[in-house]
Amino acid sequence: MVRDNIIRIRKELPPEVKLVAVSKFHPCEQIMEAYDAGQRVFGENRPQEFAAKVPLLPEDIEWHFIGHLQTNKLRLVLPYASMVESIDSCHLLDAVENWGELNDRTTDVLLELHLGAEETKGGFTEAEIEGILAREYPHVRFRGLMGMATNTDDDSVVEADFARIAAFKQRIDDRFRLPGFTELSIGMSHDWHLALRHGATIVRIGTSIFGPRNY
Ligand SMILES: *Cc1c(COP(=O)(O)O)cnc(C)c1O
C-alpha cells in the first residue's frame, strides 16, 4: 500500500519537486516499504523519535526535520538532518548558529512563515524574516521558506495562503538575491495539488503515503 501511494504521488509530481515522506508516528518497517519503492527523503517532527529511528535505517536517507525544535534538543537533530524546515524563532536560529560554530557544521534551514488563521501555529512574520536575512549567520545556510496553510476545506483560503508565501518569496529573491535560497516548502496530504500551482518545490506528505497516525 505504501509502495502504491508513493508511486501514484510521484507520478503526479513534476520531477523537480521534492517529495518529503512524513513518517512521524510510523514504524521503521513502513519507512522501509517507502524506501524500497525508491523514496529517499523523509520527514520527522519529534527529536526523540527522530534520533531513535535514524540509526536503524539506511544511511542514504535524506532526513528533513519539520517539527518544533527546542534548543535543548539540537544534538538529537542537527547531526543527522539534511535540512531543518521549521526554524520558527530567533532564539532557535541563534542556537543553531551557536551549535554550528561549536561543532564546525553548517545547517541548511528553511524559515517558517506564519500562515493562516490559527494563532497557535508557529512561524515568523514577513518583517521578522527580512530582518533575519539582513544579518549574518556563518553556520546557517538559508535555503528558502516553509509554510502551513490554514486547516480548512475552503480551497480559496488555502490558495490565498499559498499565494501570499509565494509572493513573499519573490520579494525576498528580488531584494536579497541569496544564492541557494531556492526552496518553497508548502503542501501536505490534503493541499499539495494546490501548492504545486503556487510554485512549491518541496511537498511534505504523510497521511496520503502512510495512512492515518495513531497518536
Ligand atoms: C505532519 C506534518 C506534515 C504531513 O501532514 P499530512 O497531512 O499527514 O500529509 C507536513 N508538514 C508538517 C510540518 C507536519 O508536521
Residue 207: what pLDDT? 98
pTM: 0.97
Instruction: Give residue 99's pLDDT band: very low, low, confident or very high (50, 70, 90).
Output: very high
Nearest CA to ligand 1 atom 11: 204
Whether 215 has a pLDDT exceeding 80, the answer reads no
Query: Within a 10 A sphere around the Cβ of 54, how many other Cβ atoms?
Result: 18
Whether 119 has a pLDDT exceeding 80, the answer reads no
CATH 1.10.10.10 fits 2-210, yes or no: no
Average pLDDT estimate for 79-94: 98
Kindly list the distances between the CA atom of residue 5 and the CA atoms of 16, 62, 74, 163, 176, in Å, as whole numbers in the listed order. Answer: 19, 19, 32, 27, 39
pLDDT digits (tens, 9 = 90+) for 126-169: 999 999 999 999 999 999 999 999 999 999 999 999 999 999 99
Residue 65: phi and psi, rounded to 5, are -90, 130
By most ligand atoms within 8 Å of CB, the mutation choice from 19, 188, 192, 207 for ligand 1 is 188
By most ligand atoms within 8 Å of CB, the mutation choice from 2, 45, 146 for ligand 1 is 45
Give the whole-number percent of the chain exceeding pLDDT 90: 96
Instruction: Give residue 26's pLDDT band: very low, low, confident or very high (50, 70, 90).
Output: very high
> How, if at all, do strands 83-87 and 62-65 pair?
parallel
Q: State the distance from the centre of ligand 1 to the C-alpha of 172, rounded, in angstroms.
A: 25
Instruction: Give residue 122's pLDDT band: very low, low, confident or very high (50, 70, 90).
Output: confident
Cell of 54: 535514524
Average pLDDT estimate for 183-197: 98
**Which residue type, as a one-letter code, is found at position 49?**
E
Q: In a 3-state reduction of DSSP, which class is residue 93?
A: helix
- Nearest partner of 4 among 41, 38, 42, 44, judged by Cα: 38
Q: From CA 187, how far away is CA 200, in angstroms rounded?
A: 7
Residue 84: what pLDDT? 99
Q: What is the mean pLDDT of the chain?
A: 97
- How many residues in total does the chain contain? 215
